[in-house]
């Protein structure tokens, strides 16, 4: 069975006895065409099943009105909220998005970056995988002067536009909270220290210990891939430690929830024996028992700001060259999992 030929502007022009230029301008809402002609052309185009040829238009205009979005994972409410923020802005401003995710694999990230480049996206919003060491694979974008806004997982040594929270301060505040609860043996479970988010959180943890005259012990920092399974594994390691940690700061809420569930199964009371805190304020933090102390990491704000920054650059409203690091707010949320001493403000 032969596929039906697509309707073109020339078909519409013949039917209406108009020039193809008039039809094209009417379909593109040109002010030079009166509203009655526009309505006639658009109604006829709809009746004839006309589809706008975005690809041909993009080749003529050297732009696709498409933004690539590169994510390091898809299975967290934080990432979902970032994506919701990006989609809100792109929908409002007339951009489509192409979403790719690396699943924490450098090999997959490289392939995704190449694919998005060849799909001629106008710009890119990207968060790096745990395995990424440098930005060499983004060089085709840099060479073509195609704008990139990095968010969350970034290369802080690079001269690129970044949207982040102050991970150092967030981790410092959370560790300080645990210390103020009387904890002295605080275990840190974190992700790859090659990534800015986790290296900065460790640095904040170290600084808080120092300010309370508690020695930093390297063996009390467990570097994991921060999955539910690794949360359980970290808990089993913690249960063998001498002395038993009186607090655990896990820099990922789902891992923290798995950690807490595991130690409780082995008779550890939370927070009486061990105060526990996570990071991200994922939905799971409110549904575990006891509810999890965490850092509110505003993903939707991050997505909106990253997208707005890129779109404004593409529209000539602002210049990425003048905006290198954008830091958005984060907030310590104290819940029952860490409250060894009563505090006035609980959320």
pLDDT above 70 as % of the chain: 94
Find the helix or strand (DSSP H, E) in which 304 lies: helix 299-314
- Residue 238 and residue 245 in contact, taking contact as beta carbons nearer than 8 Å: yes
pLDDT digits (tens, 9 = 90+) for 158-196: 889 999 999 999 999 999 999 999 999 999 999 989 889
DSSP 191-209: --TTSHHHHHHHHHHHHHH
Mean confidence (pLDDT) of the chain: 90
The whole-number pLDDT of residue 321 equals 76
For residue 319, is pLDDT > 50?
A: yes
> Which superfamily does 167-297+332-338 belong to?
Response regulator (3.40.50.2300)
In DSSP terms, which residues pair with 149 in a beta bridge?
125, 161
**Domain spans in the chain, listed from the N-terminal domain onward:** 9-52, 64-165+298-329, 167-297+332-338
Q: Compute how many other C-beta atoms are within 10 angstroms of the C-beta atom of residue 329.
A: 11
Closest CA to 68 of 128, 119, 103, 133: 119
Cis peptide before 243 (omega within 30 of 0): yes
CATH domain 64-165+298-329 topology:
Rossmann fold (3.40.50)
> Which superfamily does 9-52 belong to?
lambda repressor-like DNA-binding domains (1.10.260.40)
Structure tokens, 282 = 């994922």
Closest CA to 332 of 166, 192, 142, 121: 166
What is the average per-residue pLDDT within 12-34?
86
The whole-number pLDDT of residue 320 equals 86
Q: Compute how many other C-beta atoms are within 10 angstroms of the C-beta atom of residue 339.
A: 18
Q: Compute how many other C-beta atoms are within 10 angstroms of the C-beta atom of residue 41.
A: 24
DSSP 242: S
Q: Greater confidence, 176 or 25?
A: 176
Instruction: Please tell me if the domain spanning 9-52 has the same topology as the one spanning 167-297+332-338.
Output: no
For residue 275, is pLDDT > 60?
A: yes
Alpha-helical segments (H) within 52-195: 54-61, 77-93, 106-118, 139-143, 167-180
Of the pLDDT bands very low, low, confident and very high (cuts 50, 70, 90), residue 300 is: very high
């Amino acid at each position: 069975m032969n596929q039906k030929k697509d309707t073109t502007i020339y078909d519409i022009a013949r039917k209406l006895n108009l020039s193809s230029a008039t039809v094209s301008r009417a379909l593109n809402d040109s002010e030079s065409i009166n509203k009655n002609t526009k309505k006639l052309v658009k109604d006829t185009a709809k009746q004839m099943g006309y589809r706008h040829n975005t690809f041909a238009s993009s080749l003529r205009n050297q732009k696709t009105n498409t933004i690539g979005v590169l994510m390091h994972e898809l299975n967290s409410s934080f990432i979902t909220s970032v994506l919701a923020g990006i989609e809100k802005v792109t929908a409002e401003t007339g951009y489509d998005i192409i979403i790719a995710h690396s699943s924490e694999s450098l090999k997959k990230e490289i392939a995704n970056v190449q694919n998005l480049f060849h799909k001629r996206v106008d710009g890119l919003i990207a968060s790096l995988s745990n395995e990424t060491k440098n930005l060499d694979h983004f060089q085709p974008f840099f060479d073509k002067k195609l704008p990139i806004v990095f968010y969350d997982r970034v290369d802080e040594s690079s001269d690129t536009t970044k949207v982040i929270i102050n991970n150092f301060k967030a981790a410092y505040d959370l560790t300080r909270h645990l210390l103020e609860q009387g904890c002295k043996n605080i275990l840190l479970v974190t992700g790859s220290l090659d990534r800015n988010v986790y290296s900065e959180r460790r640095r904040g943890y170290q600084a808080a210990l120092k300010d309370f005259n508690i020695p930093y012990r390297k063996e009390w920092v467990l570097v994991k891939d921060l999955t539910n399974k690794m949360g359980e594994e970290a808990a089993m390691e913690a249960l063998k430690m001498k002395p038993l940690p009186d607090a655990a700061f896990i820099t990922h809420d789902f891992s923290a929830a798995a950690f807490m569930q595991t130690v409780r199964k082995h008779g550890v009371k939370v927070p009486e024996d061990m105060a526990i805190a996570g990071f991200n304020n994922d939905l799971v933090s409110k549904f575990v028992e006891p509810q999890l102390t965490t850092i509110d990491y505003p993903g939707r704000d991050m997505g909106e700001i990253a997208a707005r920054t890129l779109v404004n650059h593409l529209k000539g409203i602002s210049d990425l060259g003048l905006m290198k690091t954008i830091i958005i707010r984060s907030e310590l949320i104290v819940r029952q999992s860490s409250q060894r001493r009563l505090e006035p403000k609980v959320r």
